[in-house]
Amino acid sequence: MKKYYDLFVRSADRAVLKKASELGWNGVCVAVDLKNINQLRDLPEKVSNMEVYKGVVIPTDVEKNARKALDQADIIIALGGVDEANRQASECWEVDMLVNPELTQEKDHFPAF
């Protein structure tokens, strides 16, 4: 049996989690910005039969901030966008996921969305 996860849910709202469960997801990762890490404290481990993971999005100083977030998060997510940030995230063992690596404006002739 296949399992379905969404690993980048940007809302900790209980109604959003309940809706994801109703839609048949097996698990989600609620991803909050590092400055809002306290929102993860009251997050349930499960909603119905759906697993809920705690994620922290690290925008800058990837290595230093990822280590800080390890105690409170299940998944560390680095925010990419420029080559240097993408490189830092890919070299940092604490980072589980890199999002938006394509948003670099340096060599890209297409507008970022």
Q: What is the pLDDT of residue 89?
A: 92
Q: What is the pLDDT averaged over residues 99-112?
A: 68
pLDDT tens digit sequence for 76-101: 999 888 888 889 999 999 999 999 88
Cβ atoms < 10 Å from Cβ of 109: 5
Residue 113 has pLDDT above 80, yes or no: no
The answer to whether 53 touches 28, Cβ cutoff 8 Å, is yes
pLDDT tens digit sequence for 50-80: 999 999 999 889 999 999 999 999 999 998 8
Amino acid at 13: D
Distance, CA of 27 to chain centre: 13
If one compares 102 and 16, the residue with the highest pLDDT of the two is 16
Distance CA 78, CA 103 (A): 13
The answer to whether 55 touches 30, Cβ cutoff 8 Å, is yes
Torsion angle of alpha carbons 7, 44, 3, 72, nearest 10°? 40
Task: Grade residue 110 by pLDDT with cuts at 50, 70 and 90.
Answer: low
Q: What is the pLDDT of residue 59?
A: 87
Q: What is the pLDDT averaged over residues 39-48?
A: 93
Residue 109 has pLDDT above 70, yes or no: no
